[in-house]
Structure 1
Amino acid sequence: MTTEAETDDRDGAAPESSGERSSTPLRRLGSVRLRRRLRARAGAFLGTYVFSSLTKRIVVLNLAGLIALVSGILYLNQFRAGLIDARVQSLLTQGEIIAGAIAASATVDTGAISVDPEKLLELQAGETLAPDSLTSLDFPVNPERVGPVLRRLISPTKTRARIYDPDGLLILDSRHLYSGPQILRFDLPPPEGEEVGMLDRMWQSMKLWMRQGDLPLYQEAGGGDGRIYPEVEAALNGSPASVVRVSQRGELIVSVAVPIQRFRAVLGTLLLSTQGGDIDAIVSAERIAIMRVFLVAAGVMFIMSVLLAGTIAGPVRRLAAAAERVRKGSNSRHEIPDFSDRQDEIGHLARAFRDMTNALYNRMDAIERFAADVAHELKNPLTSLRSAVETLPLAKSDTSRARLMEVIQHDVRRLDRLITDISDASRLDAELSRGNAEVLDVANLLRGVADMSNQRAVETAPRVILTIADVKPEKPGEKAPDKPYEMMGYDSRLAQVINNLIDNARSFSPEGGTVRIGASRKGPRIIVTVDDDGPGIRAEKIERIFERFYTDRPDGEDFGNNSGLGLSISRQIIEAHKGTITAENRTEPDPQTGTRRVTGARFVLSLPAGRPA
């Protein structure tokens, strides 16, 4: 009994190890995955760059223009007309040469006397004709003498020559000229059963239909009267003529008739005609050459179109993919591809996308910070309110309970004020983006706000004084603007800013003080200032006062009476009007110390003047 190993040894094949048997399927699986990956990448490349929608459109439009151009060249070119004219001139020259040679080979027939019957009828009674008038010299065209000459002159030209006598009868036809040792070759009709293909018949019918409207149809006269050809009739009268005809197969045939003359006597007519399809073959060869140029141009245009589409479709696709990542991404910032080095629409689009994305991220960060600030500001009064509520049951005296109730009411008012200001700040951007700016007069707006503020104020509150400067021409000879304080904006929101600054100035000014508002025009900007007589702003706090929920109130003022959103909202409104708002201190020299001392704060608004162009 033999084992499997012994059988393998006898067969001459060594047994494979288990490791080799297991590695073979893995290698095959790896090669299959590699081929699939390569096919997927090739398909993605072709679908992205070569067969993308934009690439197809560019290629189709470019090729359509090239096809229209080539079609116009093939259909409307003057090559065929020029070729026909050149062929006519060539046949005329050739015919004159051959007619001269034939006329020179004609001999005089001296053994014949020809009598003109018309002259005999003109004789009167008793009159006779002189012998000289009875006889005339005749130069007949001898086919035996002319045939060899015609064969030598016609054979290299591949044209058909026919000679007609003065009566229009056919004397010689180059198709039937042959010499003794030559072998005749005739184009016989196809045998029965072999017909011209359908496409060939359709093409011939189409050519005949297209050309028959402009050209006469060619008919074979055979050995009959050659006067059915107009050019032969004209040549018999002594004038060369040419006619272009179309055959039954739609092929062009050019015929030229030249008179054969000797001593001004017309001995006959030489009719030269081209072979059917001769001119069409030349035109077809020219068109084939044009098509070759077209194919080369189309190939170059296809490659250039693909490359052009790649410079457009590739960046656009990368921008779209980046925008999709930005839309889906929530944990990290995704950068938009940078094409700022391109000075074209793609570069402009990339820069706009980057700016838009940065603006979106900044807005998201601002919303996140705003939410955090709101939560922080709301948490403080809620914590105080909860502590007071929890402590209220433990209060033993009416005084303690009254103090706790006062704290509760204060915190509730603070919460109400915070929620109102937060709601106003949160919908401010939406209102400014949805609203339509209108033309407004800042001077009239300031007058209305100042009057309303003085009417609402108590007697001890600082009064508001408005000063509007007259606008003078910037340069001598120029005319001052009719309405120097006009601008595009939202009057209600600008009035909110002015009221906020007035209330802020009054809160810092002492009793009996003054809040001064000034308006002036500096170039294309309207400058509005709001001054108070307060302690001013600490230098390190000038920028922080515009932050949300930041307050820097005078000592002794109740905490929580301000939400810290007034100046932040004011800056947001002014920036929406493409303006700026800044804060600074007013100073004047101190006569005692010799230094400059702070006399109050000043807020400066700079707004763009004028209507849109």
Structure 2
Amino acid sequence: MIRPDLRTGVRWKISVAIAAVGALIAVALSLVVHNAARVSMLDNARDVQIDRILLAQRWYESSKNRDPRFNSRINDPALPAELRRLVRDGRRGSYVDDEGDTPEIWAAVPLAGGDVLSLRTEFTGRSATVLKDLDRALIIGSVAVVFGGSALGVLIGGQLSRRLRKAASAARNVARGDTGVRVREAIGGIVRDETDDLARAVDSLTDALQARIDAERRVTADIAHELRTPVTGLVTAAELLPPGRPSELVRDRAQALRTLVEDVLEVARLDGASERAELQEILLGEFTARRVTALHPDAVVRVVHESWVSTDPRRLERIIGNLVTNAVKYGVDPVEVTVEGRVVRVRDHGPGFPPALLREGPSRFRTGARDRAGTGHGLGLTIAAGQARVLGARLTFRNAAAEGVAPHGEAGGAVAVLWLPEQAPTVTGSFPLPVVPEGPRRRRRRPWNRG
């Protein structure tokens, strides 16, 4: 069962929470204040009603014709039963009738002969006006509290959200390999809260992982370096064996071992981030065509648009060679290499890249899924990606068609795309600022250094 994913920011969650709590408190306080004020006003009205009924009683008893005044009545049939029972006991009292839309204030006193003098007044006038004004003020205050709480929530949540976004951005930079970034420094700020604890934890995790990676890299480089001399001696000794099938097998395996050791050393150097490009100006299309033709004559090379690029020819040759070798080894002919401006595409017509490579990128000693299994060690694409980083280029991998959409040999296949930068990295590994050209670009071809 798929559950809906509702994504909201911390800022709005805090704002809604504060607004909800503010609204709840404002409503509760408004009800308490309204009821307290109403009860107080009704009590005052009952006291006034008692005074009025006493005044009416004195007037009635002192008058000769026994005529009730001040809107009072004798034995009013609408007199509430509770008040009627109180008067029967010979006591005076007051009563509030809330059954109608407007409360009614009753007061009654017993008279001689068993009669009852009562007075009824509606709760209107100045008291009702004051109560309405109070209710209006409470509503306005409650709305102001809700909006003020929402604004405060946006302010507090925005600050927290910005810190979390900075922490996430710094963590992504660390994940991309920029281990010099510190999350604690990235979030900044004076106030210390839980985000600082999270930042320190991420920085500690980064340092621990980096230390482990450095240790593994040093061990790998040391092992490969120590194997280099005996493997070279083994290759030399294998060349001295007499001709024959066993000698060919020994020479082949010794050469494969030597290639593996050299590749491991190259990966270790690329992981160390100390490699720098030696830049030269070359014609990308012509350079690619010569190298691909020498490596795999059956590959199809198309130069859509020729361009000059400033790059390291040795590293570029390594990238293109590894991509073409990977296409020849694991793909299906024809292998097509297309050069368009600063972009080089290498495509085969095989089963395509495995999902793990498309999802995570090249990984050392992983040759792919069963549909691209081979005899390699999984270092070719890893080296190509590392050399691309040294050149400041971007290397992407995709499949020409999804699995099952097109049969092999037609529209399917793996596509590797190398995007060379407009500004080549300097000898320090950084990128120069763009410079406004002073005149038209020279078309004179510079001599290319094969070394």
TM-score normalised by the chain length of structure 2: 0.44
Bigger Rg, structure 1 or 2? 1
- Specify which structure has the bigger relative contact order, considering alpha-carbon pairs within 8 angstroms and separated by 6 or more residues: 2
TM-score normalised by the chain length of structure 1: 0.34
